[in-house]
């Protein structure tokens, strides 16, 4: 009987003691990573709050925003455009004009189409100077016809493949007698009507600027009219060496000799082309 009682007491003791032991075990086996994660989260939040108070945004979001801006910049990056300096932009046959200089009416010449009388400052100055020098040497010469330079903003204009960048001008020739319809229109030149002395002076007045900034680059004139002027000059004492530098004649229409070159439909005027001024950064 005593043994039975002792066994019963032991059994009851185990029933009473077991739950606390199991509970203790469950507490001891509480997953430590959860507790550690909670602590790291609190520390991280304190760190973020501290940064937010300094820069007003959470580091993670700020980093994401910075990355987004960087990506956008990468996709939308545009090279900064360098604005062209000067007036003449591009080539005479593919260009335009900015800040144009207008050739104004003056004594001794008539502008055929004022809306096309815009060019670079140097072009306008050399036109005025060449005409002035010619009329000073030949005060009895008739009024000269000034054809197209460029439109106010340059670019393509009718009747021309060039005249786009303010560096081309069409100049009428000088005749023994002012022809009918001149200077409103250009007039075909030949030996019978061309004033060779005054026309050669006009040509040389333009060529005098060849070594100056923005000066003459090339002159287009019919090959046969070149020949008329060439022979007149030879007869009047101009050296053959000098004429070789001026004219393509007599070497042929395809020759690269001389500044004055043949161009079809230029037997009634000379087409003068000027160099790029040194300050015009986009001139070609």
Name the H helices within the chain.
2-28, 32-55, 59-76, 121-137, 196-207, 223-235, 240-246
Domain count, the chain: 2
Same domain flag for 151 and 39? no
**Average pLDDT value over all residues in the chain:** 81
Q: Are residues 34 and 94 in the same domain?
A: no
User: CA dist 155 to 117, 166, 270, Å?
Assistant: 13, 9, 21
Average pLDDT over residues 52-59: 42
Average pLDDT over residues 23-36: 39
Pair (99, 212) in one structural domain: yes
Q: With respect to residue 16, please indicate whether it lies within any of the assigned structural domains.
A: yes
One domain, residues 139 and 7: no
Region of poorest pLDDT, from 59-73, 141-155, 270-284: 59-73
Query: Domain check: are 177 and 260 in the same one?
Result: yes
Instruction: With cut-offs at 50, 70 and 90, classify the pLDDT of residue 51.
Output: very low
In this model, does residue 66 exceed pLDDT 80?
no
3-state DSSP assignment of residue 223: helix
**pLDDT greater than 90 at residue 281:** yes
So what's the pLDDT on residue 135?
96
Residue 180 resides in a domain: yes
Do 105 and 182 fall within a single domain?
Answer: yes
Write out the two tokens for 155: 């670019």
Percent of the residues in the chain that have a pLDDT greater than 70, as a whole number? 71
249 shares its domain with 137: yes
Q: Is the pLDDT of residue 62 over 80?
A: no
69 domain-assigned: no
- The span from the CA of 73 to the CA of 248, in Å, is 57
> Is the domain of 38 the same as that of 136?
no
Q: Would you give the distance in Å from CA 241 to the centre of its chain?
A: 40
For residues 250-265, give the mean pLDDT. Answer: 97
Question: What is the model's pTM?
Answer: 0.72
Range of the domain at 137: 88-274
| Residue at 82 is within a domain | no
Q: Specify the pLDDT at position 165.
A: 98
Could you tell me which residue, 124 or 4, shows the higher pLDDT?
124
Question: In this structure, is residue 75 part of a structural domain?
Answer: no
Rg of the chain over all Cα atoms, to the nearest angstrom = 45
Query: 182 in a domain, yes or no?
Result: yes
For residue 68, is pLDDT > 90?
A: no
Do 92 and 42 fall within a single domain?
no
Q: Do 194 and 268 share a domain, yes or no?
A: yes
Q: In b/e form, how buried is each residue of 69-91, taking b as 16+ CB within 10 angstroms?
A: eeeeeeeeeeeeeeeeebbbbbe
Residue 1 lies in a domain: yes
% of the chain residues with pLDDT over 90:
70
Same domain, 10 and 98: no
Residue 123's nearest CA partner among 257, 276, 278 is: 276
The answer on 104 and 40 residing in a single domain is: no
The mean-pLDDT minimum among 37-46, 90-99, 113-122, 148-157 falls in 37-46
pLDDT at 82: 52
- Higher-scoring residue by pLDDT: 60, 217: 217
Looking up residue 264, the CATH number of its domain turns out to be 3.30.1380.10
Mean pLDDT on 40-67:
41
At a CB cut-off of 8 Å and minimum separation 6, what does 25 contact? none
Does residue 128 form part of some domain? yes
What is the predicted pLDDT for the residue at 196? 98
How do residues 87-101 score in pLDDT, each as one tens digit? 999 999 999 999 999
pLDDT grade for 83, boundaries at 50, 70 and 90:
confident
């Amino acid at each position: 009987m005593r043994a039975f009682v002792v066994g019963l007491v032991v059994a009851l003791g185990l029933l009473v003691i077991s739950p606390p032991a199991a509970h203790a075990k469950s507490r001891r086996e509480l997953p430590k990573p959860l507790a550690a994660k909670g602590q790291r989260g609190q520390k991280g939040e304190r760190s973020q709050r501290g940064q937010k108070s300094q820069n007003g945004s959470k580091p993670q979001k700020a980093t994401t925003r910075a990355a987004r801006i960087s990506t956008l910049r990468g996709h939308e990056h545009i090279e900064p455009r360098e604005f062209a300096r000067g007036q003449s932009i591009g080539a005479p046959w593919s260009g335009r004009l900015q800040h144009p200089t207008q050739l104004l009416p003056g004594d001794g010449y008539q502008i055929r189409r004022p809306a096309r009388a815009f060019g670079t400052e140097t072009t306008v100055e050399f036109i005025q100077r060449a005409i002035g020098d010619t009329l000073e040497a030949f005060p009895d010469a008739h009024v000269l016809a000034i054809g197209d330079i460029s439109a106010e903003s340059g670019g393509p204009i009718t009747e021309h493949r060039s005249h786009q960048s303010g560096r081309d001008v069409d100049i009428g020739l000088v005749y023994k007698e002012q022809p009918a319809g001149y200077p409103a229109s250009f007039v075909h030149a030949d030996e019978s009507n061309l004033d060779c002395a005054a026309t050669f002076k006009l040509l040389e007045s333009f060529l005098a600027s060849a070594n100056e900034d923005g000066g003459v680059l090339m002159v287009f004139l019919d090959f046969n009219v070149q020949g008329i002027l060439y022979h007149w000059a030879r007869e009047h004492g101009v050296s053959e060496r000098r004429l070789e530098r001026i004219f393509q004649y007599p070497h042929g229409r395809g020759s690269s000799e001389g500044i004055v070159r043949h161009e079809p439909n230029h037997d009634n005027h000379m087409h003068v082309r000027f160099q790029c001024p040194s300050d015009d950064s986009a001139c070609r």
